[in-house]
Structure 1
Amino acid sequence: MTLLDNLQRLMTERGISNKHELSKQSEVPYTTIINLWERGAENVQLSTLKKFKLFFNLSYDELIGDDYNFEYEGSGKGANIATLIQTLGSGFCGVRVIINEYKRVLYCVDVSYGNYCYTGETLYDALVKAIEHRDRKEVQEDSH
C-alpha cells in the first residue's frame, strides 16, 4: 500500500469522511492534503508525515507503506529503506536531516568508509547514492 492508500484506509477506520475533516483533526493544512492527493506523495514534507504519524499513532514505515519502495541500479528488485540501510551494513553511521538556505529538507546519509556524506531530497535518494558509491569503490578495488 502507498501513503495515499494508507491515509484513505486510516480515514475510513477513524470515520473521517473527507479531506477537510482530516485536515482539522490532524492539523495538516487543507491545501497540503489536497496537493498530496493531486500531485502524489513523492515530495511530501517530513513535517507533514510527522503530523500524520502522530495523529494516527503509527511509525513512519507503517504510514508510508510502499511509496518508498523503489529499484536502484544493481538491486534487481524493489528495496525499502530498511533494506537499503542493511545493504550499507556496518558502514552505515546514521541519517541527518538538513534544512538548506531555501528551507528545503535534505537528507544526509553518513557512512564510515571514507567519512562520506551523501545528500538527497529524499532519504532513499541519499541511501542509493551511498550504495552506488560503495559499489563503485568495490569494483575499483577488485580491478586492481
Structure 2
Amino acid sequence: MGFTLIDNDTMLENISDGAFRLYCVLQSYCYGEKDVCFPSQKTLGEKLKRSVRTIQRYIKELVEAKLIEVKRRGSNNNYYKMLRKAVQKSIQNTVSTIKAAAEKHKSSSKGNFNNYKQRNYNMNKLEKLLLNNDSGICYEECLL
C-alpha cells in the first residue's frame, strides 16, 4: 500500500535514528498479520544505503531495546521477529479465545445443565432433611 504502521511507543524509544529507520524497514516487511521477516543484512544495507556492519550495529541496538528478536537462519538470512507486534497478536488471540469460550458458556448455561432444568430448594428444609433433624420432612417439601 505504500505505508507502514509504527506504534507511538516505538517512536519514543531511546534508539538512534538509524536503528529506528531499520526498525521501520523491518516493520514494512511484516505487513498485515505477519510478525516475522527474513531479509538479508545486505538487502537491509542497500535499502538504507548503509554498510552491512552498520546494519549489524543497528540490529544489536534494536535487540537491546527489546524491539526485535533475531535468530540465525542459514548462512545469509536472519529471522527477525517484531516483538511488539507479536505480543499484540498474542493478546488479540487470547482475548478472542476468551470471548469465544464465554459466549459458548453463556449460550449453554441458561438455567440448564446437561439440558435439565435446575431445581430450586428451600435450603432450611433441605438441611433438616439431610441432617435428619426433622424426620417429618420429605424431599418434595424441600422443592420450591
TM-score normalized by structure 1? 0.25
Q: Considering only CA atoms, is the larger Rg found in Structure 1 or Structure 2?
A: 2
Larger helix share, 1 or 2: 1
TM-score normalized by structure 2? 0.25
